[in-house]
Amino acid sequence: LKEPIPESELSKAKELTKGRLLLRMEDTRSVVSWMGGQEILTGRILTVDQVVSIIDAITADELEQLARELLVGDQLRLAVVGPVAKDEPLEELLKL
């Protein structure tokens, strides 16, 4: 990352994520999907409160470390659908 993640942005992202999670839990299909997905992928089911606690515990440093691991410049790819006149402007999108 070129600059640290501002605490205000991290806080907004956490609140948005928690809000979307809580809204999804109002729909029966979403709850079943939530529980089934957790069981299949991890073998256990976390409660919404447990996940909210995990989200709250995430730090900017942890996110920055994860970004450094996942967003490796020479590993980025871009798929474009439709006519493209020149490649150069698109190649700029792949530069971190």
Give a three-class secondary structure readout of 25-82: CCCHHHHHHHHHHHHHHHCCCCCHHHHHHHHHHCCHHHHHHHHHHHCCHHHCCCCCCC
b/e 87-96 (16+ beta carbons within 10 angstroms → b): eeeeeeeeee
pLDDT-derived band at 88 (thresholds 50, 70, 90) equals low
Mean predicted confidence (pLDDT) in 56-72: 92
pLDDT recorded at residue 28: 96
List Cα–Cα distances, 94 to 2, 51, 75, 78, 81, in angstroms.
14, 32, 9, 7, 16
Closest among 54, 63, 52, 53 to 24, alpha carbons compared: 52
More confident residue, 68 or 85: 68
pLDDT recorded at residue 95: 74
Question: What's the CATH number for 7-92?
Answer: 3.30.830.10
In the chain, where are the structural domains located? Answer: 7-92
Pair 84, 94: CB distance under 8 Å? no
